[in-house]
Amino acid sequence: MAPSPLPGPLADLAPLLDRYGYLAVGALIFVEDFGIPVPGETVLIAASVYAGAGRLDVVVVAAVAFAAAVLGDNLGYLIGRTGGRALVHRFGKYVFLPPERFDRVEAFFRRRGAPIIVVARFIDGLRQANGLVAGATSMPWRRFLLYNVIGAVLWVSMWTAAGYLAGYHITELYQEFTRYETYIVIAVALLVVALIARHLLRRRRRKDPS
């Protein structure tokens, strides 16, 4: 028997995963992990939700995501190692990694050491840059690979499990979301306003330290 249609906004994602399936998961995660800003993490979560709803095999989703994450980061490492900082500074702006941002990320990596490779997997921006930075700073490849694999295992496991459980109960979750949708939208709007106000306040303080 065919699985039930996915409810609500998730139905809009069906064409991508129904047409390309695991290929979409692998391609987007692979490309994201060597520096291109595409929604790799989002497609992992969506595919895991699909698996919970009976559309995909969750084991295959996890395996493809893990392989793509490790290979993508290693390609980023190779690019950073062979091209060095000069290459990243020249072309980084095309992948939202201009020189000033790269320098900040590089300094952060140097302070925290190799274990930050694991943490970077869960932080948007660092996730896309960690391979490039590790290669450009000449981190030993075996050390990078070890922490990269650990980070990929934890990242894939967390989002696959969360998405799968959500997909298994997708109908109930969507019904609850619809019931409280107005309150959720108001809460998100207030959070955005608070963040903007905080940013403007900090900016004003920097301009007027007195």
pLDDT tens digits, one per residue of 18-37: 888 899 999 999 999 887 87
* Domain extents in the chain: 8-179, 180-210
Q: What percent of the chain has pLDDT over 70?
A: 78
Kindly state the tokens that stand for 139. Answer: 């981190």
- Interval 71-100 mean pLDDT: 77
* Confidence band for 147, pLDDT divided at 50, 70 and 90: very high
User: What's residue 1's pLDDT?
Assistant: 42
How many other CB atoms are there within 10 angstroms of residue 58's CB atom?
18
- Interval 68-78 mean pLDDT: 93
Dihedral sign for Cα 96, 157, 148, 71, please.
negative
- Interval 84-103 mean pLDDT: 68
Give the separation between CA 117 and CA 194, rounded to whole angstroms. 31
Kindly state the tokens that stand for 104. Answer: 């900040």
Do the Cβ atoms of 117 and 151 come closer than 8 Å? yes
Is the pLDDT score of 5 beyond 60? no
Give the separation between CA 149 and CA 26, rounded to whole angstroms. 16
- Interval 102-106 mean pLDDT: 73
Give the separation between CA 151 and CA 65, rounded to whole angstroms. 12
* Confidence band for 109, pLDDT divided at 50, 70 and 90: confident
Q: Which of 15-19, 77-81, 155-159, 176-180 has the lowest mean pLDDT?
A: 176-180
- Interval 183-201 mean pLDDT: 77
